[in-house]
Each structure stands twice: as structure tokens, then as C-alpha cells.
């Protein structure tokens, strides 16, 4: 390929991702140029993960680019125009005038679709521009157009790239439950983002009242990021031409809201407030769809474009001077700790179960080695499916049964999963001594109890105990194995030890609840840190991190703009 590139500088490498294809790709044929005599046919099974390269530079993981990435989280009510705002902002940065944008090809970061009233009899026409994106749902009025978090990356200066994280809008017509699910989706996506430079709240300037869910949304933001995030909040107003590029009545509503909000001193000044008019960009898109306007309308949009260009440059300069709000330094909160712990439930409990297996196998000079592999996006594990235990030495283990779509199982006993477990039977003892295994086992059930207490105390549903639910599930699996397999002596020992574990766990949890000692947030973070170091847990958490990295990469779009940002 290097030699080919030397011969032909116009050569481009095309990346095709068949990860979610419903068809099995058995063969891949690479057709080389006519100057080369070898044709290669590679079996799909021969391709390793290392053979597949990432689609783009990733601002959140590692990049060979010397440019600094500015990560901005974009929040707003469903229908406020977040996706249109991103498109408009990019065009205002790259085109000084409406004439220049019309003469050259407009920049479309995200596909555009909107309804416009035309002519004197108010006919409506759907305006579309850009390639169709399955993540953008324009068909259901009131539902969030953006279905999942997406990263959009483009240059905003010679040495900086802007990464805007577009989020599902709140105030979805499907209700508060969907809004809560959207917030969970956002926080889960942020798990692999090491820092933010700002949270951009997008509004229209003349709303009559704030959406009822805004209070919950705003509260959850502070719960997750901590109080220090107040200094990283940015206010952006779109469709501001009608209010002479001012925040309008919405500013008064927000001021009243902040006066009653528990966290005070949230900056809301000219410095972190920006007003744009996305209508000028919509006008440009309409022109591309051959919609005609009278000269007076064009003059208004030309002036609006010029004003938005000035504001976009001010916004760009503000972002370029923003410091990073880094995870694990400033970014510590109850909500963030909850997410960390929930990610650790399965790794901890599967480690406990495998410790017990290896304690049972210790005297027979054998052990079970646990392996974890990250799954594809939208993978579900089903616990109701009639799974068949597999034999490893003299012990039986229930394999994971996976679905690759939420709609493939109707049992109601499925849950999202980020990694799958595999096992290897070895005719050798584990590296740890029996004393070390038992000590780590005892420390882990105590850790489970402390994490459970923290989750129950800080959750809106104080009776929900996800650790106990999963302990019961594990016990149920072992009972099923003992019931269906005749040679089950070791599994019966494992079942007895798991039931003992449950009793000890519940007793210690009761002790914590009865104690006057409180678990501090810093203490919880220290416990998370020490638990991560346990090798068997670390293997599983690394698989979760790999899943999160893949999630970010698969939802990242880097737009290469063939012109210089003004």
C-alpha cells in the first residue's frame, strides 16, 4: 500500500464496517491496482481485532494528531435544534457571508430535515440536506431526533479541534421514563470521556416556561459532575434574531430558576452567553433545495448571517480558552460513583464465584481461569433462556447466552451486557495461596456490602439492592446445574459456599445499616480504586472499558473540511 501510494497520490483508504450487518461476511476480496499482480482473498475468521483500525482520530482516547481537542457536551430540550445549531455554527465559522456559503458547498456535519412554509398559500415542504443518518429520527414529532449520543469533530482553529457531544433531548413525548433513560445513556457514554471543557445548554430566547423535566436534568448534571461544574456551564440561544440577538424572556426564567436552585453562584453573564440565529443556515439549506425567496427576506438573512458569524467567532475564542474539567480530579460525585459501582457489580460477583471454584479445586491441583471479551453495542444477555452448562474439569459452568438486539428476546429477563465471560480449565493451582484466596474472598463480600449500602442510601429507590439481586441469580444458576447434572459434587459445594456468602453479606450489610459510622464519598472512591486492582476484577473492567471505547469510536464522526477556518 505504501508503494501504491507513492505511485498514486490520489489513492485513498476506505474503511468499511460490517460489524452490525445481518449477513455473515465469509470472504473479503482485496482488489489491488492493475500494476500489482497479486490478488488476496482473506477469510473473515483470519482477521484479528488488531487488523481493524479505528475510523477516525478519537479525541477522548489517544490520537497521533498534535491538535488539542475541546470536548463540549450539548444539552437541550427535544426540538430546540441542537443538531441544526451544530451545522449552523460550523458554517458560520467557515463562511464569512451568505453569498460565500451559497457559492461554495455548505458544510453539513449532521443530516438536516425540517418543514418550511412556502408561498402565499402557506404550503409546507420538507427540506432535507445531507446523507441519511439512522441515528437522526425525523419521523416522530416530539420525540428526540437524536437517538443516541454522537461525537462530531471538526477544526475550529489551526491547532484545535472541537468535539461536540450531541445528546438526546429532554422533554421527550414518551414521558419522564424515556428522559431518565436518555440521561442514563448520556452518563454511560461519558464513562470513557476523560475530560470536558464545557456543558453547553441550548435554549430558544422567548419560551413561556422552562420544561418541567429541566430541574431533574440540571440536578442530575450536578449530581454526576459535582458542584465545580458550575464554572463550565455555557448558555447558547438559537433563533435569536427575533430578540435582537439577546436571551429574551428565557433569561428571566433561568434567573428565577437559579435563585431557587440549591447550588448557588452559577455564572450567567455576557462572557458565557452566546446568541445565534440558525434560521440563516436553514435559509441556506432551503436555497439548496431550490426554494425561492423575495429580496427583502434575503437581506434579513444576510444580516443575520453576518451577526451570527461575529457571535460564532466569540464563542470559538471562548472555547479555545476553556480549561479542562478532568475526571478523577475535579470530577467526583455521588452520581459518578454510582455509575462506577454499578459497572463493578458483575465483575465483583463473578470474581467471588470463581474464587470459590478455585478454593474448591485447590487440593486437586487445578483451577479455572477467567477471561473477558467486550461485546458489540446493543448486546443483551438473557437469563431465562434454557442454557446448557459446560463442563470444565469436574465442575460445571453456565455459559452466557447473548442476543444482539433488544427485540430478539421476549422473556423480560434480559439486560444489557458489555462483556462476555469465557473459562479455561488448567491442571495447576492458582497463583495465590489458599490463605490469600480466602482473605480476598472475605474482603470482597465486605466490599459488596459497603457498595450496596452506598447505592441504597443515595438512590431514589432505597429498597433496591442490585448486589443481592445478582447474588440470588448466581445461586439460582448453581441450583439449576445441581438439578440437571448428575456428576455435580463440586457444584453442590459451590452452591453451599454461595449460600454461606449470601448470609455473611446480609449480616455485614445489616451491621453497616445499624452503625452510626457513615461512608464518605472519598472513602467510596478509595474502595473503588483498591477493588479495581484485583486482577480478576481488572480483567473484566478492562473489557468494559474496551466496550466503552468502541462505543465512542462507533458514534464519532470526524468531518474533514477542505478550507481554512476564518
Tens of pLDDT along the chain (566 residues) come to 445 555 555 555 554 555 434 445 544 554 444 333 323 333 333 333 333 333 333 344 334 456 899 999 999 998 898 989 999 999 999 999 999 999 988 898 988 788 888 777 778 888 887 775 555 554 444 434 556 899 999 999 889 999 999 999 888 777 778 888 889 889 888 888 889 999 999 999 999 999 989 999 999 999 899 899 999 999 999 999 989 999 999 999 999 999 999 999 999 999 999 999 998 999 999 988 888 888 888 999 999 999 999 999 999 999 999 999 987 666 788 889 999 999 999 999 999 999 999 999 999 999 999 999 999 877 888 877 678 899 999 999 999 888 776 555 655 667 888 999 999 999 999 999 999 999 999 999 999 999 999 999 988 777 889 999 999 999 999 999 999 998 889 999 999 999 999 999 999 999 999 986 778 999 999 999 999 999 999 999 999 999 988 888 888 998 888 777 76
| Residue at grid coordinates 453547553 | 200
Q: Are residue 240 and residue 165 in the same domain, yes or no?
A: yes
How far, in Å, CA of 184 to CA of 111, rounded? Answer: 25
How far, in Å, CA of 563 to CA of 31, rounded? Answer: 32
Q: Are residue 103 and residue 190 in the same domain, yes or no?
A: yes
Q: Judge whether 195 and 327 are in contact, CB under 8 Å.
A: yes
Q: What is the structure's pLDDT at 368?
A: 97
Q: Are residue 313 and residue 343 in the same domain, yes or no?
A: no
Q: What is the structure's pLDDT at 408?
A: 56
The CB density around residue 404, as the number of other CB atoms within 10 Å, is: 13
Which of 330, 359, 376 terminates a domain? The answer is: 330
Q: Are residue 268 and residue 400 in the same domain, yes or no?
A: no
Which of 309, 330, 351 terminates a domain? The answer is: 330
Cβ neighbours of residue 347 closer than 8 Å, sequence gap 6 or more: 536, 537, 540, 541, 544
Q: What is the structure's pLDDT at 171?
A: 81
The answer to whether residue 273 sits within a structural domain is yes
Q: Are residue 306 and residue 338 in the same domain, yes or no?
A: no
CA quadruple 239, 244, 246, 251: dihedral, nearest 10: -80
| Residue at grid coordinates 453569498 | 99
How far, in Å, CA of 560 to CA of 154, rounded? Answer: 7
Q: E-assigned strands of 77-194?
A: 112-118, 123-129, 150-155, 160-166
Q: Are residue 286 and residue 353 in the same domain, yes or no?
A: no
Q: Are residue 279 and residue 418 in the same domain, yes or no?
A: no
What secondary structure letter does DSSP report for 105? P
The answer to whether residue 58 sits within a structural domain is no
Cell readout for 9 is 497520490
> Which of 417, 344, 419, 345 has its CA nearest to residue 381?
417
Q: Are residue 133 and residue 16 in the same domain, yes or no?
A: no
Q: Judge whether 387 and 399 are in contact, CB under 8 Å.
A: yes
Q: Are residue 297 and residue 404 in the same domain, yes or no?
A: no
The answer to whether residue 561 sits within a structural domain is no
Q: What is the structure's pLDDT at 385?
A: 67
Q: What is the structure's pLDDT at 122?
A: 78
The answer to whether residue 398 sits within a structural domain is yes
How far, in Å, CA of 512 to CA of 455, rounded? Answer: 13
For residue 344, the SS3 value is: helix
The answer to whether residue 16 sits within a structural domain is yes
Which of 282, 301, 330 terminates a domain? The answer is: 330
Q: Judge whether 84 and 278 are in contact, CB under 8 Å.
A: yes
For residue 452, the SS3 value is: helix
Q: Domain count of the chain?
A: 3
In this structure, what CATH number is given to the domain that contains residue 226? 3.40.50.300
The answer to whether residue 55 sits within a structural domain is no
Longest dimension (CA), the chain: 90
Q: Are residue 349 and residue 278 in the same domain, yes or no?
A: no
Cβ neighbours of residue 556 closer than 8 Å, sequence gap 6 or more: 55, 56, 58, 59, 150, 151, 152, 153, 163
3-state helix, strand, coil in the chain (%, to 5): 45, 20, 35
Exposed/middle/buried for residue 57 (C-beta within 10 Å: 0-12, 13-18, 19+): middle
Domain containing residue 155 = 68-330
Q: Are residue 480 and residue 354 in the same domain, yes or no?
A: yes
Query: Beta 160-166 vs 195-196: how paired, if at all?
Result: unpaired
The answer to whether residue 318 sits within a structural domain is yes
Q: What is the structure's pLDDT at 134?
A: 54
Cell readout for 218 is 440540571
Cβ neighbours of residue 536 closer than 8 Å, sequence gap 6 or more: 347, 350, 351, 354, 355, 370
How far, in Å, CA of 248 to CA of 295, rounded? Answer: 28
| Residue at grid coordinates 479542562 | 324
Task: Please give the full DSSP string across 280-339, using - where no structure is assigned.
Answer: HHHHHHHHHTT----HHHHHHHHHHHHHHHHHHHHHHHHHHTPPPEEBTTTB--HHHHHH
Q: What is the structure's pLDDT at 2?
A: 47
Q: Are residue 311 and residue 352 in the same domain, yes or no?
A: no
Cell readout for 335 is 452520581
Amino acid at each position: 500500500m505504501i508503494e501504491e501510494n507513492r505511485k498514486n497520490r490520489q489513492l485513498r483508504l476506505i474503511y468499511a464496517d460490517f460489524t452490525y450487518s445481518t449477513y455473515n461476511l465469509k470472504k473479503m476480496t482485496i482488489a489491488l491496482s492493475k500494476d500489482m499482480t497479486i490478488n488476496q482473498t482473506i477469510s473473515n475468521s483470519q482477521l484479528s481485532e488488531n487488523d481493524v483500525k479505528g475510523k477516525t482520530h478519537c479525541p477522548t482516547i489517544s490520537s497521533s494528531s498534535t491538535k488539542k481537542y475541546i470536548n463540549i457536551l450539548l444539552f437541550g430540550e427535544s426540538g430546540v435544534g441542537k443538531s441544526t445549531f451544530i451545522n449552523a455554527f460550523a458554517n458560520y465559522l467557515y463562511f464569512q457571508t451568505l453569498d460565500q456559503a451559497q457559492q461554495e458547498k455548505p458544510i453539513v456535519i449532521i443530516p438536516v430535515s425540517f418543514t418550511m412554509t412556502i408561498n402565499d398559500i402557506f404550503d409546507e415542504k420538507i427540506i432535507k440536506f445531507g446523507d441519511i443518518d439512522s441515528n437522526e429520527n425525523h419521523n416522530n414529532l416530539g420525540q428526540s431526533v437524536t437517538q443516541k449520543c454522537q461525537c462530531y469533530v471538526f477544526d475550529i482553529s489551526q491547532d484545535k479541534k472541537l468535539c461536540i457531544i450531541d445528546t438526546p433531548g429532554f422533554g421527550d413525548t414518551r414521558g419522564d421514563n424515556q428522559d431518565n433513560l436518555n440521561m442514563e445513556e448520556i452518563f454511560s457514554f461519558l464513562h470513557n470521556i476523560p475530560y470536558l471543557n464545557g456543558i453547553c445548554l441550548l435554549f430558544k430566547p422567548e419560551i413561556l416556561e422552562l420544561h418541567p423535566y429541566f430541574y431533574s436534568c440540571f440536578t442530575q448534571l450536578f449530581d454526576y459532575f459535582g458542584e465545580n461544574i458550575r464554572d463550565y456551564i455555557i448558555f447558547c440561544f438559537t433563533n435569536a434574531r427575533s430578540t435582537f440577538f439577546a436571551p429574551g424572556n428565557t433569561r428571566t426564567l433561568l434567573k428565577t430558576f437559579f435563585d431557587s436552585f440549591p447550588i448557588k453562584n452559577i455564572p450567567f453573564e455576557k462572557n458565557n452567553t452566546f446568541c445565534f440565529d440558525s434560521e440563516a443556515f436553514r435559509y441556506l439549506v432551503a436555497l439548496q433545495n431550490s426554494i425561492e425567496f423575495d429580496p427583502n427576506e434575503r437581506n434579513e438573512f444576510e444580516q443575520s448571517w453576518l451577526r451570527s458569524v461575529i457571535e460564532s467567532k466569540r464563542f470559538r475564542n471562548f472555547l479555545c480558552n476553556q480549561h479542562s474539567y478532568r475526571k478523577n480530579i475535579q470530577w467526583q460525585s455521588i452520581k459518578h460513583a454510582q455509575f462506577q459501582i454499578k459497572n463493578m457489580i458483575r465483575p465483583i460477583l463473578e470474581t467471588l464465584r470463581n474464587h470459590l471454584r478455585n478454593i474448591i479445586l485447590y487440593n486437586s491441583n487445578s483451577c479455572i481461569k477467567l477471561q473477558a471479551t467486550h461485546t458489540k453495542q446493543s448486546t443483551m444477555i438473557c437469563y431465562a433462556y434454557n442454557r446448557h452448562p459446560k463442563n470444565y474439569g469436574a465442575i460445571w459452568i453456565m455459559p452466557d447466552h447473548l442476543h444482539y438486539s433488544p427485540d430478539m428476546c421476549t422473556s423480560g429477563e434480559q439486560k444489557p451486557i458489555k462483556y462476555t465471560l469465557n473459562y479455561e480449565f488448567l491442571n495447576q493451582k492458582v497463583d495465590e495461596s489458599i490463605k490469600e484466596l480466602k482473605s480476598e474472598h472475605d474482603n470482597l463480600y465486605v466490599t459488596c456490602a459497603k457498595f450496596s449500602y452506598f447505592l441504597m442510601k443515595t438512590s431514589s429507590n432505597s429498597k433496591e439492592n442490585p448486589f443481592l439481586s445478582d447474588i440470588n441469580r448466581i445461586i439460582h444458576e448453581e441450583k439449576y446445574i445441581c438439578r440437571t447434572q448428575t456428576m455435580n459434587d463440586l457444584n453442590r459445594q459451590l452452591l453451599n459456599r454461595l449460600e454461606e456468602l449470601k448470609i455473611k453479606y446480609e449480616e455485614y450489610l445489616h451491621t453497616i445499616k445499624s452503625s452510626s459510622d457513615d461512608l464518605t464519598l472519598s472513602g467510596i472512591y478509595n474502595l473503588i480504586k483498591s477493588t479495581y486492582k484485583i486482577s480478576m476484577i481488572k480483567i473484566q473492567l478492562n473489557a468494559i472499558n474496551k466496550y466503552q471505547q468502541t462505543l465512542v469510536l462507533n458514534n464519532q464522526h470526524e468531518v474533514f473540511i477542505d478550507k481554512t477556518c476564518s
